[in-house]
A and B are shown apart, each in its own frame.
Chain A
């Protein structure tokens, strides 16, 4: 079946790896997987002590959603570093040229078709996306949601905007650099400032924990949205974002 789907791919591999080696690799992987499965099934799961601990400490975390409490308070160091990972990707994908002074500017391409259906739909969709993003951000304190989800929704609004081809994005501009790094910068600043008060890096005073988490999450949302949108506009080619295909994909 796969041979029919991508003949060139399987053919090149068939010529480089001899049959014996392929069988050998397959049997090693199968045996390894079986052993892993067996080992997992034969051992008991550890008692959920950590989950108990999380629910015990939830009251002092500043939020009511245990996932948000773990991500932005108990294990905030991991989240800080994950935002750094996103920033690395954004830096690595930045264009060389620095010709565009503004983050968003009207497209210089005059031939960009004004797809009436798309643009009038987006007049509704984009404000709605911003609203949903804001809701997801706010609700993260109580229910599933938070910075990553909100950022993804906001980025989707940006992608829709990019698909109209009426705007161009200048990711090398100073404003864009501030946007993509704001999440990490404010996270670190919050950690240091709260550390000066409590004596430990990233330890929030209990009374201010909710506010500080919200500040960190807002900044993270903005940066995540900007980074995702940058990845899209850097990877998307003109032929991919033509109005004909974009209507169906959104």
Chain B
């Protein structure tokens, strides 16, 4: 039993702290106390995870940690599992949740939705952390339900007709995805008699039932990740949610299901993966990159534009599968994609917060009517521009390094055509970002009576600061490539389940 290893007794805290936070915020009656404890718990969560942040470069930390909940151990009990991939995602989640919690405290100040926002918010965080730590196929299903239901309720929080329609569609899609996943897991259990990821990785072989299970699991998770033909629910759900919810949905929630797809394809069921399947995922990703950019360019609302941009950016992640399939460059491809996930999470969260600030200040986010908005909202536009730099992939930013790593992998694995997709995607992203900036910075020479004046509540300075912090983070990531890569290397590779099996 590995439970005595450094840091591991605290591993369940990543899930338990958010759950406690959810209960406490449900029981508190004062809105102010709710926000303050929300920020407090977010800080606590980050500090609970901090040992991994500080100890990574040294040899103190084992490459992969298992924690047997209840002391039973797999396959009887449920294990938690932590490696480099999971560490990076846990830490990004904790950091992002802290900033978004502070933003939400300002965003929901004095609003009745706050009473339901905080408990649901913490439930969502518990689900995300749980997925990153999961080592059991059925446990993942329960966690996906937590994430799905909490996300749907958070989208519906806006209360508008569009938001409720989007939330309902999101709920139905999520349910279909979960059921597909569950059917796949049922097949795996029938075939291999275990639900533990490491044991499945040990036993998995290429046969029709495993292919069927992999197809079902992948289809269910693709629905939740919104890869191109299955993306139809994402733009309306992400665009109509309250700003901090949009940010967390685009930055983290879709990544959780991508994380699971990566786990299943590269590790747990890797013997059953075929080159054709990897190519297909890569191809869908490539189409998503191009189509998402075009749809973003054509969008009429700012938040819708940002949401379509998420569809495009998710496409890049799926280049992982053909790039990793070449065998020699698996680790390099994973490095690039994890870097991409973190860079996109920061930039997209910053962008959604900036868009939310503009929406709140102007009372609308109709792009055509945002002409000259930079005069009224210079800070939000500045943040939008910085985040845009990272999304396009211009140096110096996290997005640049991420795309650079992707290009490198594509060329070194001899699949130059993916490099073309990455470059085209960058150019197209520049189009929709500059479309907004161009319009916003136009000098409006009309008499002041004809300019629509701000109608809604002014944004709090704290909200701008939070968005700014995320945007700066997205750029700073470009200077700290080394740090993130060593953190990822702590787990040596994504295939820790198949390596660690039987230990």
Which residues on A are within 8 Å of B, measured CB to CB?
A: 35-36, 38-40, 42-43, 45-50, 53-54, 57, 73-78, 81-82, 84-85, 87-89, 91-92, 94, 96, 98, 174, 177-178, 180-181, 184-185, 188, 191-192, 195, 198-204
Contacts and interface: CB of A to CB of B under 8 A. Distances in A.
Interface class of chain A by DSSP: helix
B147 to A, nearest CB: 10
Given A39-B209, A43-B207, A53 B191 contact: no
Nearest to B16: A188
A50 B74 CA distance: 10
A141 B439 CA distance: 68
Interface in B34-54: none
Interface in B198-257: 207-209, 211-212, 216
A91 B193 CA distance: 36
A94 B192 contact: no
Given A177-B26, A191-B12, A202-B71, 9 more contacts: A39-B209, A39-B211, A50-B75, A50-B193, A54-B76, A77-B78, A191-B16, A200-B69, A202-B69
B130 interface: yes
B368 interface: no
A135 B277 CA distance: 53
Nearest to B72: A74
Given A78-B78, A181-B26, A198 B71 contact: yes
Contacts of B216: 36
Contacts, number: 148
A92 B208 contact: no
Given A50-B75, A88-B120, A91-B116, A76 B149 contact: no
Contacts of A82: 142
B314 to A, nearest CB: 24
B96 to A, nearest CB: 21
Contacts of B194: 46, 49-50
A87 B149 CA distance: 10
A177 B27 contact: yes
List the 10 closest pairs (A to B, CB-CB), nearest first.
Answer: A46-B193, A92-B153, A203-B71, A39-B208, A201-B12, A43-B209, A202-B70, A200-B71, A39-B212, A81-B142
B450 interface: no
Contacts of A88: 120, 123, 146, 149-150, 153
A184 B19 contact: yes
B208 A78 contact: no
B10 to A, nearest CB: 10
A47 B123 CA distance: 37
Contact of A84 (B19, B27, B191): B19
Contacts of B191: 43, 45-46
B27 A201 contact: no
Nearest to A201: B12
Given A53-B76, A85-B145, A87-B123, A185 B208 contact: no
Contact of B142 (A45, A78, A89, A96): A78
B374 interface: no
B75 A35 contact: no
Contacts of B123: 84, 87-88, 91
Contacts of B115: 94, 98
B126 interface: yes
